[in-house]
A and B are shown apart, each in its own frame.
Chain A
Amino acid sequence: MRPVVLAAALCALVSGCGLSAQSADLPRLPDGHPNLQGLWIKSAGGFQGLFIGSLDGTNFAAPGGGRGDGRGGRAGGGPPAPAPYPYTPEAEAERQDRLKRGYEDPEARCHIPGVPRALDQPGGLYPVQIIQDEKQVALLHEAMHDVRIVPTDNSPHPKTYWAWDGDSRGRWDGDTLIVDVSNFNGRTWLDMAGNFVDENEHVLERFRLLDRDTILYEATVTDPTVFVRPIEMRFTLKRVPAEQQMLEYSCLEGERSLQHYTDEDGGRKRRAK
């Protein structure tokens, strides 16, 4: 039995393994696909980690509020700092510049976070509600009331549509939901620390129900004009207890936080109004 158990453990950790194997004990819809529905929240990890940044790269979430390069920190048992992003030299210069302009983070202005940032919110802060039927999987994010409706018919991307969230097309590969995301508008930041992608971003996401209360989320982000090689990310979504519900994240309505980003731009201009 030992090798079987080991293989199962590896399958839980490594994608693409045993895709055709149907696990009997997962909750399923009448169409046979795993039932991803419910309210979920990121447990740990991801690009954003626990970085709560400022324009000089301070990570307020790091132990002692340590100063770093703004690439994520380790706090209270949080994830290790992610590996440096494989930027092209031009993109690295742009990223350093953006690090000084945190107030330009689109999310600071309540814009849609994009993919994968919508799911990759700082751990445990904002849940996502999944509603699924035989034709689509919808992701309703509390953060920025961002919505993605993913048809699971493997249909092609449109030719004339660009958006913050791009265009998502899904398909089932065994028990894994594979979502291909393209057609981004090029304005997305990956986090509060100036990390970014442009309109050539392409994301391949994999949603896999490990057990009733756990979804393994993996994403491969490619962007040939920004990164020299693809970025891989992985984290789990944990089911939120049924007695809890999503709250409303009305961001723009009565927005008051932009002034905290910097006194030079956001703050002074805003107070002058």
Chain B
Amino acid sequence: MTGLRAAIRLAPGIALIASIVAIGAVGAAGQSARRPAGFAPARLSDGRTPDFRGIWQARGTAYVNIEGHPGARGLAPSRSIVVDPADGKIPYKADARARRQENYRTRATADPSVKCYQAGVPRATYLATPLQILQSPGNFAIVYQDNHAFRVFHPESRPHFDAADWWMGDTRYRWEGDTLVADVASMTDQVWLDQAGNHHSTEVHVVERYRLIGADTLEYEARIEDSVVYTRPWTLRTVLSRVTQPGARIVEDECLEDAQGVRRHVSPSDPRNLLRADYSRWTRPARP
């Protein structure tokens, strides 16, 4: 038990270091410093499957603009998390670039996230809210706090469900050693990749790679292919840190309209929680 406690106490420091190293390596894919050799993840009860369970969260602010953005009041700057091409820019075709600029101009109202829509893949991964990986031998699912979206990962032995355009896509996965490789298709073109209006079409095909590079650090990579919108496939990469606070949990994140008709996410533990003032028709004594 002593070893376990020590690991927990050290965890925030490890996660912080890992994050810094990862940010420093952006734009230089394949740097060996980010990839400590020989890290052996814990295993599930089958003694074989890498154990990715836990609550994870991106610490950066790439959710604002995955191509990078300067800092602002209360907002840390972010470098591009696009690692291929090396210039950190999404290789848009000309008309797709124009739509991106239009999205950017109207982002305050046009961002699907403003309308409480599910975030899509890969955007859900690097939001400002955590996600939880649920896992057991043969089962893998990710629950995102944002809009209580979730994805059930299905074994790759089955073909994609290809009869719909979904917000969170249709996911098939396999293990390559200790790396989980997920193939995502059947996604709508209504989702964005970030708050800056980066986008894709219904032809998008995402290959995700999840890999533990430390006990509390999960590397996430997404290769995004869409011949309608991009001139070539491109790749983003970031790291998620384990949320180690005792009692930490995914809280219910429901999106409601406030008195001004503006939709916003409200966490039940948020003191500004609208729910408490919303018993308009049926008021009862407050719970003790």
Contact = CB atoms under 8 A, between A and B. Distances in A.
Interface of A: 29-31, 37, 94, 97-98, 104, 111-112, 129, 131-134, 136, 138, 140, 145-147, 149, 160-165, 185-187, 196, 198-200, 225, 243, 245-248, 250, 252-254
B275 A187 contact: yes
Interface in B131-167: 132, 134-136, 139, 141, 143, 147-150, 152, 154, 158, 161, 164, 166-167
Given A199-B284, A253-B190, A140 B136 contact: no
A146 B190 CA distance: 21
A177 B284 CA distance: 32
A78 B104 CA distance: 52
B118 A253 contact: yes
Contacts of B13: none
Contacts of A132: 136
B116 interface: yes
B148 A248 contact: no
B1 to A, nearest CB: 17
Contacts of B143: 138, 140, 147, 149
Interface of B: 44-45, 53, 112, 115-118, 132, 134-136, 139, 141, 143, 147-150, 152, 154, 158, 161, 164, 166-168, 170, 188, 190, 249-252, 254-256, 268-269, 273, 275-276, 278-279, 281-282, 284-285, 287
Contacts of A199: 279, 284, 287
A245 B162 CA distance: 13
B252 A112 contact: yes
Contact of A196 (B139, B276, B282): B282
Contacts of A243: 158
A134 B275 CA distance: 34
A134 B251 CA distance: 21
Given A186-B279, A245-B161, A131 B136 contact: yes
A25 B274 CA distance: 49
Contact of A30 (B45, B170, B282): B45
B284 A145 contact: no
Contacts of A196: 282
B46 to A, nearest CB: 8
B254 A111 contact: yes
Q: Which 10 A-B pairs have the closest CB atoms?
A: A163-B252, A248-B166, A163-B268, A30-B45, A131-B134, A185-B275, A253-B117, A250-B167, A138-B134, A131-B139
Contacts of A112: 148, 252, 254
Contacts of A138: 134, 141, 143
B57 to A, nearest CB: 16
A145 B166 CA distance: 12
A140 B142 CA distance: 10
A196 B282 CA distance: 10
Most buried by A among B53, B148, B251, B281: B148
Contacts of B112: 253
A164 B252 contact: yes
B284 A185 contact: no
Given A37-B136, A37-B139, A94-B282, A134 B45 contact: yes
A200 B284 contact: yes
Contacts of A131: 134-136, 139, 141
B168 A248 contact: yes
Contact of B152 (A30, A140, A146, A187): A140
30 contacts: A30-B45, A31-B45, A98-B281, A112-B252, A133-B53, A133-B134, A134-B45, A138-B134, A138-B141, A145-B149, A147-B148, A147-B150, A149-B250, A162-B268, A163-B251, A163-B254, A164-B254, A187-B278, A199-B284, A200-B287, A225-B285, A243-B158, A245-B152, A245-B154, A245-B158, A246-B152, A250-B166, A253-B118, A253-B188, A254-B190
Contact of B282 (A111, A162, A198, A250): A198
Given A200-B284, A225-B284, A248 B167 contact: yes
B141 A186 contact: no
B269 to A, nearest CB: 5
A183 to B, nearest CB: 8
A160 B168 CA distance: 31
Contacts of B167: 248, 250, 253
A133 B164 CA distance: 32
Contacts of B53: 133
Nearest to B139: A131
A41 B68 CA distance: 45
Contacts of A162: 268, 273, 275-276
B282 A247 contact: no
Most buried by A among B139, B141, B158: B139
Nearest to A199: B287
Most buried by A among B166, B167, B268: B268
Given A200-B287, A248-B170, 18 more contacts: A31-B45, A94-B281, A112-B148, A112-B252, A147-B150, A149-B132, A149-B249, A161-B251, A161-B269, A162-B275, A163-B254, A198-B282, A199-B279, A247-B161, A250-B166, A252-B116, A253-B118, A253-B167
